Structure 1
Amino acid sequence: MTDTGSSRPRGTRPGATGHHGDRARPTPEAQSGSPFGPDSQFHRFFNDPRWALAMVRATVLEAAHPQIGAALIDNSTFVAHPWRRLRNTLVSLQRMFGTDDNERQREAARLNRLHARLSGTDTQDRPYDAMDPQVRAWVVATLFESSVTMCRLSGQPLDQTSMERLYAEYQAFLAALGDGVGHLPPTLQEFWQYYDHMVQEELEDTEALRIILYKLFDHLPAPPLLDGLPTVWAAGRALAGPVIGTITVASLPEPFRRRAGLPEIPGAQTLMQSVYVAVGLARFLPDNWLRAEGLTSLLYLSSDSDVPQAATLTALRGRMKQAGALFRLVTPFGVQHGPAEGTGSQRSADEFFTAVLDQTGDGYLDWPDLAAMARELSSRLDLDEPEETRLYHAYAEWWRELQAALDIDGDGRISKEEYAAAVPSLAGPALIRVAEVLFDVTDADGNQFIDADEYRALFRTGFRRTVADADARYSRSAFVKDFLSFMSGRRRSTAYDPLLADA
C-alpha cells in the first residue's frame, strides 16, 4: 500500500501506492444501549458460520466500488496473502467492537494511519483515496447489508428492531473512525434508498471484483495449517471454489449482476439458499467450536510451534498426508511440490521474488509491496506512533535504493528479470537499516535483546534453538544477520518465512 505525503518514495508509477456470542448476563454497558461489547448484534454474528459467506459477499460489493477496487488492485495483498488479510481483518473488527474504549481508539487511529497511506489513480486516471468518508461509509454499508442478507437467505430474517440495532452499531463503528455517522443515512429507511442508488448507479464491473470471483477462489493458496499438503488442498479447493463463487454471484443484487454481465447459472439461486441454510445449521454446535478467533488461530498454527495444540496438529497433518497419497491415486491432479522443509534450504530467485517480495501478487516489485511488508510487521507488533512511521520510512528508503539499482527500464517497478539480473544489490545499506529498525521496534523494553515474549509477538511462535543464546535472548547482531540472510540470500528460514511468505 502507498504512503502519502513526504514519506512516499519518488518514482512510483501512478496509482502505486448469531447467536454464538457470550451467554452471560447482559453487562451494564449492554443494558445502557451501547453499540459495542459482547451483547451487541455484531458479536452474535461474529461467531456465526454464515458470517463467513456474508463477508465474502461484502468484500465483492466493496471491490465493485471504483475507488475501493482501484485501491485493492494497487495496494492489497488479498490475492497473494488472503489468509493473512482475513486474520488481520477479524482482529481489527474485534478491537473495534470490544468493550475497551482505549483499545477501540488505538485501533481506529491505526486504521486511519493505514488508510491515509492509500491514495493514487486508477487505470482511467480517476483518483482514489481510502480516507474519503463516502468510500469508508460504503465499506460499512456492505458489512451491514450483507449481515442482513445472510439472515434472510438462511430463512431467519431479522425483525425490524434487531435490524435497527445492528444499523446503529455500524453507524457507531463509522463514528469511532472519526467520520461521524452523517456519511451513512440517519434512518434505516433512508439507508435502503442509499444502498439501491449505490448498487444501480455507482458500482462497476471492476478488475478487483473479477479477480475475487474468478481467480481468487480458483487459485486460493493453502493456509499455513495445510502448507506442504498441496494435493489435499487442491482437491478441496477444486470442489469448494466454484461453489463459493457461484453462491456469491447469486447472492448479489440482481440490478448489479445484470449491469456487470455476471452469469446466470441455472440452479444457482437454489444452491445459494441451500448452502446458507446448511451452514446456518452449524449454529447448533457447541459455542467453543465456532469461535472465529480460535478457528483463524488454528489456520495459522504450524506443526513446529511450542503451543499445546501443536502435537494434535502434527498428528492431523500426518493423517492429511495419508489422505493426500490417496487423492494422488484416485484423482487426476498433477504432482504438486510444496516448500522444502527445514532451515537454510536454497530457493530460486524466481521463487523468492514470488513468495516474499511480490506481496501484492501482480508480478512486479514496487512500493506497495514493501509498504505491505511494513504494514504486516506493524500489525504483528501492534505498533503505535512513532515506531510505525519509523518502520515505513525504513522500507521507503529501501525501495528508493532498490529502484535506483534494479529498475533498468525506468518504469517505476522491478520485474522478475530485473531482480534476477542484479540480485546482490538487495543487501545494501537501506536493507540493513530496515533490519535495525525492525529490531528496535520488536525490542519493546529497549534492553538490546529480543526476549521470548518479544520474539513471540513478531514470529508468533517460541524461540528456536538456532536463534537464542545461552541466556535465551536474541541479540541485535544475530537478528540483523539472520534478517539480511533471509532477505538477500534467498534461503528458507523456519522463523522468517512465516513473516512475509505465508498466505
Structure 2
Amino acid sequence: MTDTLDHERRIELARRFGAGSLLKRLTCELRWGLAAVRATVLEAAHPQVGGALLDHSTFVVHPWRRLFNTITSIDRLVDEDVAVQLREVDRLNRLHARITGTDERGRPYSALDADARAWVIATLYDSTVEVCRLTGTPLTAKEEGQLYEEYKALLTLLQGRDDLLPPTLKAFREYFASMVSERLEDNEAVQSIINGLFSTIPAPPLLKGHPTLWAVARAAISPVASAVTLATLPEAYRSKYGYTAPPGADALMRGGYFAVGVITLMLPPSLGRTPVIIDILDPSRESTLGPIKMMGLLMEQAGKAQDLLRRPAGQRRSGPVAKGADRLFHEVLDQTGDGRLTWPDLAAMAREIATRLDLDEPAETRLFGAFSAWWKELLAAMDADGDEVITREEFAAGATSLSGPALAHVAEVLFETADKDGSGTISPEEYRLLFRSGFRRDVETTATGDITSGAFVAEFLAFMTGRTGSTACDNLLATA
C-alpha cells in the first residue's frame, strides 16, 4: 500500500503520469474509451477481479454511471495538480479496501490483491497500445516504452511496490501471454459483458425520455458491439474458451476502430477528449458545451411532454411521482441487479456518493459507517430467515421500517458535506452546488431561505422510503 512510500517518492511517481505525460494525452482522447471496454473484459477474466465485479460492481445495472465515474477518476489521476492525483490514489485505495468476499467457487478475493491490481494495469496498458494500433496511429517503440513506465509508476503509487510488473517490455509481453493462456478464466463476469451487457444496456441519460428510439438503436447496435468486443480479445483466450467471433467481425472491428481514430484526429482538441462523452451522453450536468447541453435538455423535455400526452387525463400530474416499494427496491436499492438486497448494494450506494462528492477520508468513513448501521437496521427489521439477504418479498413486507435512525444519519452525513461552514444550515445555492458537483444535476429547492438539517433529512427519507420522488436523489442513485 502507499504507506510504504514517503511523500517525496509519491510526488515523484505522480509527476511521471501527470502533466505532460503520454498517459494523460492518450486517456483524454476519445478513442481511449475503446481501450477501457477491452480492458474491462480482460480484467473480469482474472479470478480475483471476476468475483469482485459480480458481487460489488454496478456496471451491469448502471453502465453509464460507471463510465462517468471511470472517466472522472482517470481525469483526477492524470491531473496537472499533484495534490489532486494523490487524493484520488488514496480514495481508490480506500474504496478497494472495502471490496472483499468469496466468489461462487468459494475462493476469497480482495480488490487490493497485488497480482490482480497488476493485471488491471497490464490490461489498460496493452489495450491502450492495441487501440492506438487499430485506430491508425500506432505508438512508436519509444512511446510504448514511455507509456509502460508511466503505467508502472501508477501501479507503484497505488500498491506501494515497484516489482509487480516485469522490468522490460519484452518481459511484459511474455507475462501478458502467460496470463492469457494460463491464468485467465471464462467466468460469469466475462459472460455477462460479452453476452448480456450490450443487449440489456439501458438508455444513456440523453435518450432516457425516448425508449422507443433507444430500443431500436440498441437492437441494431448490441450484436455489433458484442462481436467487435469479442474480436478485440487475444486469440489465445478466445480459442481456449471457444469464443468464436461471427463472420466479418474482425473486419468490422478494424473498420470501426479506424473510423474512431479518424474522428479523434479530426475533432478539435476541446471536443476530442473523453470527458466530452459525459457532456454528450448526460447533457444535464454542468458543462461548457452550451449547444450540446441545450440539445439534450430539449430532448429531455420533449420526452416528458410525450409521456404526459400518453397518460390518461386523470393520471396527468406535475408534481413528484410517488415510488412504490417495488420500484424503489428495483431502481434504487438493488444496485448490483441480482434481484436481492445485500451489503454490497448499500456499499455501492456509499461508494457512488463518496466518488461523486470526492469526500476526504474522515467524511467517507462517516458515510460508510452510516450505511453500515443502516444495513444492520434493515436486517433487524426485514431479514426474517437470518441469511443476511433481503428478498423482494421481505422488503415489501417490511418497507414501513425503512426510515429508522440509521437512515436519518445517512442523510445527516450528506448534509454535513454541504454545510461547509458548520453553521447548521445550507443556503439554496449550497444545496444546488451539492447536487451539481456531487450528483451532476441542476436541482432547485422550494425553500426561500436557508435549509435546515431537518428539512434536508425529511426529503431524503421521503425518497428512500418510496413516499415521494426526489430529482436529486433519483439522479444520484437510480440513473443508469
TM-score, scaled to structure 1: 0.85
TM superposition shift of 1:430: 1.3
Query: Does the CA-based 8 Å contact 2:18-2:82 persist in structure 1?
Result: no
Q: Quick one: structure 1 residues 319 and 428, their matched pair in 2 at CA, closer, same or farther if it must change by over 3 Å? A: closer
Residues in 2 aligned to 1:481 and 1:314: alpha-carbon distance in whole angstroms: 29
Structure 2: tracts of 5 or more residues without a match: 1-12
Residue in 1 aligned with 2:396? 420
Q: 2:243 aligns with which of 262, 268, 272?
A: 262
Structure 1: tracts of 5 or more residues without a match: 1-31, 325-334
2:165 counterpart of 1:189: no
Residue in 1 aligned with 2:16? 35
Q: Deviations over 1:347-402 (max 9, x none)?
A: 33221111000011111111011111111111122111211111101100110110
Residue in 2 aligned with 1:389? 365
Residue in 1 aligned with 2:78? 97
Q: Quick one: structure 1 residues 364 and 306, their matched pair in 2 at CA, closer, same or farther if it must change by over 3 Å? A: farther
2:444 counterpart of 1:464: yes
Residue in 1 aligned with 2:283? 301
Query: Does the CA-based 8 Å contact 1:303-1:314 persist in structure 2?
Result: no
Residue in 1 aligned with 2:417? 441
Query: Does the CA-based 8 Å contact 1:251-1:272 persist in structure 2?
Result: yes
Q: Number of matched residues?
A: 456
SS of the residue 2:415 aligns to = helix
Residue in 1 aligned with 2:67? 86
Residue in 2 aligned with 1:292? 274
Q: Quick one: structure 1 residues 138 and 278, their matched pair in 2 at CA, closer, same or farther if it must change by over 3 Å? A: same
TM-score, scaled to structure 2: 0.89
Q: Which segment drifts farther, 120-129 or 434-443?
A: 434-443
Following superposition of structure 1 onto structure 2, how do residues 73-222 of structure 1 map, counting pairs within 5 Å? 73-222=54-203
Residues in 2 aligned to 1:460 and 1:358: alpha-carbon distance in whole angstroms: 21
2:479 counterpart of 1:479: no
Letter of the 2:78 counterpart: F
2:306 counterpart of 1:314: no
Letter of the 2:448 counterpart: A
Q: Quick one: structure 1 residues 257 and 347, their matched pair in 2 at CA, closer, same or farther if it must change by over 3 Å? A: same
Following superposition of structure 1 onto structure 2, how do residues 322-341 of structure 1 map, counting pairs within 5 Å? none
Residue in 1 aligned with 2:475? 498
Following superposition of structure 1 onto structure 2, how do residues 15-54 of structure 1 map, counting pairs within 5 Å? 35-54=16-35
SS of the residue 1:288 aligns to = coil
Residues in 2 aligned to 1:106 and 1:278: alpha-carbon distance in whole angstroms: 36
TM superposition shift of 1:74: 0.5
Q: Deviations over 1:313-344 (max 9, x none)?
A: 233446789999xxxxxxxxxx9xxxx98542
Query: Does the CA-based 8 Å contact 2:45-2:190 persist in structure 1?
Result: yes
Residues in 2 aligned to 1:85 and 1:192: alpha-carbon distance in whole angstroms: 29
Query: Does the CA-based 8 Å contact 2:43-2:49 persist in structure 1?
Result: yes
2:330 counterpart of 1:354: yes
Q: Quick one: structure 1 residues 342 and 106, their matched pair in 2 at CA, closer, same or farther if it must change by over 3 Å? A: farther
Residues in 2 aligned to 1:90 and 1:235: alpha-carbon distance in whole angstroms: 27
Residues in 2 aligned to 1:303 and 1:182: alpha-carbon distance in whole angstroms: 41
Overall identity of the aligned pairs, in %: 49
> RMSD of the alignment, in Å?
2.6
More helix by share: 2
SS of the residue 2:101 aligns to = strand
TM superposition shift of 1:491: 2.2
Residues in 1 aligned to 2:290 and 2:136: alpha-carbon distance in whole angstroms: 39
Letter of the 1:352 counterpart: L
Query: Does the CA-based 8 Å contact 1:223-1:300 persist in structure 2?
Result: yes
TM superposition shift of 1:463: 4.5
SS of the residue 1:422 aligns to = helix
TM superposition shift of 1:312: 3.4
Residues in 1 aligned to 2:248 and 2:270: alpha-carbon distance in whole angstroms: 35
